[in-house]
Amino acid sequence: MSRILYSLCGADASAPFSPHCWKVVLALRHKGLEFTERPVGFTEIPKVENGFSKTVPILKDGDALISDSFAIALYLEQTYPDAPSLFKGEGGLAMARFVEAWSLSTLHPAVTRIALKNIHDRLAPADQAYFRESREARLGATLEEVATGREAAIAAFPEKLTPLRNMLKFQPFIGGSEPLFSDYIVFGAFKWASQTGNTELLDPNDPVTNWYERVEAFTEKG
């Protein structure tokens, strides 16, 4: 098989955790496309496909190489137009960009604060040094300092989901009657948290929890 998804893992290759890679996993399942996932550590990314991209996900599809989760979703939509759509039209494609911007600016900083130290602790030793140096430079604080805000970030997390929770009064998915790439964008943030050991950020009866379970069921049925 010639379709390979390079994703991100820690010491345990069976628990890939990158939110952006999970978006692509679900997009590939949505399209019904077979693929082999090859999780790599942070410091291995520059060796993937001759240094094609500084970040994963990287999708190798036959001769095509694509990086960036949204670009991969666009590629899949254009390359496999007869498989179920990831956007359901021009408006859905445009608004997935809004959902992405919301998720990145609202959920990702929170999950960073909640999961950062857990992520570090799960990495292979070579990656831990890279991770600590790059993240501490980006955040302007040590991993341990960021971790002091963890409980407060967990407490504040459910309120950040208010737009999604309110939308779910009208329809079961962001994409409407079935999930679309916009659902996988938000799902990725939750999967990132759960794969790094933060599994109880929401109440089991929260409508957002129920939505997460529906997305998971939909993409695992294939």
Residues that bind its own copies (CB under 8 A): 85, 87-102, 104-106, 162-164, 166-167, 170-171, 173-177, 180, 182
Residue 142 amino acid letter: T
Nearer to its own copies, 18 or 103 (CB): 103
Neighbours of 23 (CB within 10 A): 27
Nearer to its own copies, 14 or 105 (CB): 105
What is the dihedral angle through the alpha carbons of 187, 175, 172, 84, rounded to the nearest 10 degrees?
Answer: -90
Task: State the minimum distance, in angstroms, from the CB of residue 98 to its own copies.
Answer: 5
3-class secondary structure, 104 = helix
Nearer to its own copies, 40 or 161 (CB): 161
Nearer to its own copies, 99 or 116 (CB): 99
Token pair for residue 95? 């608004």
Task: State the minimum distance, in angstroms, from the CB of residue 165 to its own copies.
Answer: 8
How far is 68 from 148, CA to CA, in rounded Å? 31
Neighbours of 12 (CB within 10 A): 13
Task: State the minimum distance, in angstroms, from the CB of residue 175 to its own copies.
Answer: 5
Task: State the minimum distance, in angstroms, from the CB of residue 118 to its own copies.
Answer: 26
What φ, ψ does residue 138 adopt, rounded to 5°?
-70, -40
Radius of gyration of the chain (CA): 17
Nearer to its own copies, 142 or 166 (CB): 166
Task: State the minimum distance, in angstroms, from the CB of residue 74 to its own copies.
Answer: 11
What φ, ψ does residue 206 adopt, rounded to 5°?
-65, 135
Eight-class DSSP state of 60: E
Are the C-beta atoms of 116 and 135 separated by less than 8 Å? yes
How far is 142 from 208, CA to CA, in rounded Å? 32
Task: State the minimum distance, in angstroms, from the CB of residue 59 to its own copies.
Answer: 20
How far is 88 from 118, CA to CA, in rounded Å? 37
Nearer to its own copies, 64 or 101 (CB): 101
